[in-house]
Amino acid sequence: MQFAVLAMLGLLGGVLAGVVGVGGAAIFIPALVYAVGWGIKDAIAASLMITIFSSLSGTLRNTWSEDPVDWRVAALLASTVAPASLIGVFINNVSPEAVAQIAFAGLLLTLSYPTARGSSNPSERGRKIPLSLVLLAGVGIGTLSGLVGVGGGGTTVPLMVLGLGLSTKRAVSTGLAVTLCTAIVASIGYITTGFGDVLSLPPLIVGSILGPLLGVRLREWLPEKAVRVGFAGFMVAVALRTLASATGIL
């Protein structure tokens, strides 16, 4: 029964990701915490492990696209983002659960507005970011990824456009490769520090891979704006519920 529930959660998360274009962490972590009863730290670790497969699928698909991965840029950015994810893993392991709850709630609140508004491509004519700041920002992105279970693609794309000279579409493809490296390193960090519920992941992984295929089809006829606003409201509600739990109100 639990495997069936996890598979349905994975499928639902994948469908929503395909419809509104959000990362899996915003869906899988609250689902595992509030629907399955996992602790938020285990849910964060599971989210990163699921991200390995979704980003691998996207990276392989982009290999034959018109805007393939720029592996030189991917290696450069991943050299700071991926190792820094272990900082987030360390913080998560040594800090009280409330730290992860507050960080995750803050992430949801931060993402809720752009989710409701819709994606917007960074300007390719904007002010360029120095390489040193790009790499420094990569450390921050990696730390956040390890702490709250996000892949970091939404933040690495503008960095690559404004700081490393990629087109937006090429940056999106390259960002998936960076996310793949980050998720692998952070997942190894969580496994070696005690995450042991790996056997529960296959149904989530299968659902998360199949879900986006249906989600992309649904996006073609669903009112996307209404879905985005509704999901943003869901993110805010989950964030407030998580904050209430972290502060002892609930």
Alpha-carbon gap, residue 177 to 56, rounded angstroms: 7
Buried b or exposed e, range 2-38, using 16+ CB within 10 angstroms: eeeebbbbbbbbbbbbbbbbbbbbbbbbbbbbeebeb
Helices 97-117 and 224-247: crossing angle in degrees, nearest 10, is 160
**Closest to 23 in 3D by CA, of 123, 155, 140:** 155
- Residue 11: the pLDDT is 80
Ranges of residues in the chain with a pLDDT under 70 are 16-24, 118-127, 153-154, 196, 212-213, 216, 219-220, 224, 250
CA 38 to the chain's CA centroid: 18
Measured distance CA(135)–CA(112) in Å, rounded: 26
The pLDDT of residue 233: 87
Instruction: Return the pLDDT at 190.
Output: 93
pLDDT at 210: 79
